[in-house]
Amino acid sequence: MARVKRGTTKNKRRKNLLAQAKGYRFDRSKKERIARVAVRHAGVHAFRDRKRKKRVFRQLFSIRINAAARDNGVSYSKLIGALKKSNIALDRKSLSALAKDHPEAFARVLQQLK
């Protein structure tokens, strides 16, 4: 059986790894072993923070809705409870957009609840 030389495969793998580490500082973007660890850590953080992003945005939506609701004289929890009871199917993201960009429309939604 013929001998297989792996130089091209190894170089391609190294090139791809260093391309992923492009923009990293110091040895993390130049040396393969250190870059491999850096890229692995970056992947862990990216995976975790994709999940965290959803949580952070939901908090932001709640804060915006609460601020707009209190301007109209009702608390966040009372607003959400009233929405559920009256079967108005607006999620927090769309309510937040209404509260931020169209406060008069948000006020009309509150009028429907009363």
Domains of the chain: 8-113 (1.10.1900.20)
pLDDT (tens digit, 0 to 9) for every residue of the chain, 114 residues total?
Answer: 888 888 999 999 999 999 999 999 999 999 999 999 999 999 999 999 999 999 999 999 999 999 999 999 999 999 999 999 999 889 999 999 999 999 999 999 999 887
pTM for the predicted model, two decimal places: 0.74
Exposed e or buried b for every residue in 7-35, given b needs 16+ CB within 10 A? eeeeeeeeeeebebbeebeeebbeeeeeb
